[in-house]
């Protein structure tokens, strides 16, 4: 086991940030922590990276206890905080050199690990970090977190505020790192990224809702889910919400995800109801639930 967490709780005065959290991450796994803002993701990261001490519970990272062996952990983990936290007034190369030096290594020593990522920002190595674009900042931060060849990599919302292309590239990089045997714990508020993880934990209000592979998680969705479309989106949502048998109504792209309370739900009846409400071009079809649907269902 690369990370074990058992019964971890942490409160900040009034707020209960983490409530009796337990789970394990296997070696070489890409594990996602999925949850909205304020769910407690960053608190958990800070406990695992020895920046914060939990009120209760125990945790180990790479076999070291987060409280007693915190020094060893700091040698073996890479952490990329949610906020860009490199020196903006130092250049790309200086930042990388700085972190290599304080980890007691050099860029050359572990160059093969960061090569894929670093070559993309190398043309800008004399540019100050503060002047990089969002995607390049992420790549630099990832390079700095990897420079000492960590066993476990913690990435706290690495793709928040990054454009879709860079996001996709970033996840491809993570997949490659995983193949090199690095355990990765990544948090994200984006449900579409969750599907790229080996396993995910859905977290809300400091509690774990569900832990499983993305494929299994969606099977937990208890109802049959329908895509509903009509000519007027807003009226469609309003009318579906007003429908007496509705179980859940969430807009999802160009469709509305709808589920019904009745087991013997007949889409035709719903279509008639909507037509009576003067909506046209109505399409109702069965669809596969996504992680987002499952999360919304579990978070209810």
Partner 1 sequence: MKTIGYIVQKEFKQIFRNKGMLPIIFVLPLLQLIILSNAATFEVKNIKFSYIDKDHTSASRALIEKFNASNYFNVITDFPSETLASSAMLKGEVDVVLEIPRFFERNLLKEKHTEIAVTINAIDGAAAGVENVYINQIVQAYNKKIQVGPMQPSNQMGMPKNIVTIPSFWYNKTLNYKTFMVPGILVLLVTMITLFLSGMNIVREKEIGTLEQINVTPIKKSQFIIGKLFPFWVIGMGLLTTGLIIAKLIFDVPMVGNLGVMYLYTAVYILVILGIGLFISNYTDTQQQAMFIAWFFVVIFILMSGLFTPIESMPEWAQILTEFNPIKYFVEVMRMVMLKGSSFIDILPQFSKTLLYALIMNGLAVWSYKKAN
Q: At 81, phi and psi to the nearest 5? A: -65, 160
CB 159, min distance to partner 1, A: 17
- Nearer CB in complex with partner 1: 117/147: 147
Q: Which of 81, 158, 206, 214 binds partner 1 (CB under 8 A)?
A: 81
Site mask, partner 1, residues 55-74, x = CB under 8 A? ---------------xx--x
**Separation CA 74–CA 277 (nearest Å):** 62
Which residues in 101-160 contact partner 1 (CB under 8 A)?
A: 101-104, 144
Stretch that binds partner 1, among 82-90, 196-204, 222-230, 289-297 (CB under 8 A): 82-90
Are 251 and 240 in contact by the 8 Å Cβ rule? The answer is no
Q: Is 181 in the site for partner 1 (CB under 8 A)?
A: no
- Binder to partner 1 among 28, 51, 224, 227 (CB under 8 A)? 51
Q: For residue 16, give every residue at least 6 positions away whose Cβ sits within 8 Å of its Cβ, in sequence order, or none.
A: 9, 205, 206
Question: Shortest approach of partner 1 to residue 218 CB, angstroms?
Answer: 34
CB of 288 to partner 1, least distance (A): 40
Q: Is 183 in the site for partner 1 (CB under 8 A)?
A: no
Tokens representing 76 are: 């073996």
The smaller minimum CB distance to partner 1, of residues 31 and 45, is found at: 45
- Bridge partner residues of 228 (DSSP): 256, 284
For partner 1, which is the closer residue by CB, 105 or 246? 105
C-alpha to C-alpha distance for 112 and 128, rounded to whole angstroms: 24
Among the candidate windows 77-85, 178-186, 214-222, 276-284, which touches partner 1 by CB under 8 A?
Answer: 77-85
From 8, 34, 77, 208, residue interacting with partner 1 (rule: CB under 8 A):
77
Nearest to 44 by CA among 144, 151, 156, 146: 156
Tell me how far apart the alpha carbons of residues 240 and 227 are, in angstroms, rounded to a whole number. 12
Nearer to partner 1, 91 or 294 (CB): 91
8 Å CB contact between 148 and 105: yes
CB 21 within 8 A of CB 211: no
Copy the structure tokens of residue 20.
């009796």
**95 backbone φψ class: left, alpha, beta (φ>0; ψ -120 to 50):** alpha
Q: Which residues bind partner 1 (CB under 8 A)?
A: 49-53, 70-71, 74-75, 77, 79, 81, 83-90, 94, 97-99, 101-104, 144
């Amino acid at each position: 086991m690369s990370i074990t967490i058992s019964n971890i709780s942490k409160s900040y005065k009034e707020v209960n940030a983490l409530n009796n959290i337990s789970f394990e991450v296997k070696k070489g796994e890409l594990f996602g922590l999925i949850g909205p803002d304020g769910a407690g993701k960053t608190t958990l990261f800070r406990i695992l990276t020895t920046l914060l001490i939990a009120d209760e519970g125990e945790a180990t990272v790479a076999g070291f206890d987060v409280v007693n062996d915190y020094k060893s952990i700091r040698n073996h983990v890479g952490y990329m905080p949610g906020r860009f936290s490199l020196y903006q007034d130092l250049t790309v190369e200086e930042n990388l050199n700085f972190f290599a030096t304080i980890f007691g290594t050099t860029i050359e020593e572990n160059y093969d690990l960061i090569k894929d990522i670093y070559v993309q920002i190398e043309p800008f190595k004399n540019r100050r970090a503060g002047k990089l674009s969002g995607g390049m900042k992420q790549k630099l931060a990832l390079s700095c977190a990897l420079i000492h060849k960590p066993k476990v990599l913690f990435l706290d919302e690495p793709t928040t505020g990054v454009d879709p292309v860079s996001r996709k590239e970033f996840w491809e990089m993570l997949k490659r790192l995983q193949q090199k045997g690095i355990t990765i714990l990544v948090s994200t508020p984006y449900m579409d990224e969750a599907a790229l993880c080996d396993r995910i934990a859905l977290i809300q209000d400091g509690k774990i809702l569900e832990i499983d592979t993305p494929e299994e998680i969606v099977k937990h969705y208890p109802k049959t889910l329908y895509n509903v479309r009509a000519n007027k989106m807003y009226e469609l949502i309003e009318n579906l919400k007003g429908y007496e048998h509705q179980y859940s109504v969430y807009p999802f792209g160009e469709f509305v995800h709808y589920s019904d309370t009745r087991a013997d739900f007949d889409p035709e009846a719903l279509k008639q109801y909507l037509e009576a409400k003067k909506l046209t071009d109505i399409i109702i079809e069965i669809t596969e639930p996504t992680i987002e649907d499952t999360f919304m269902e579990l978070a209810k």
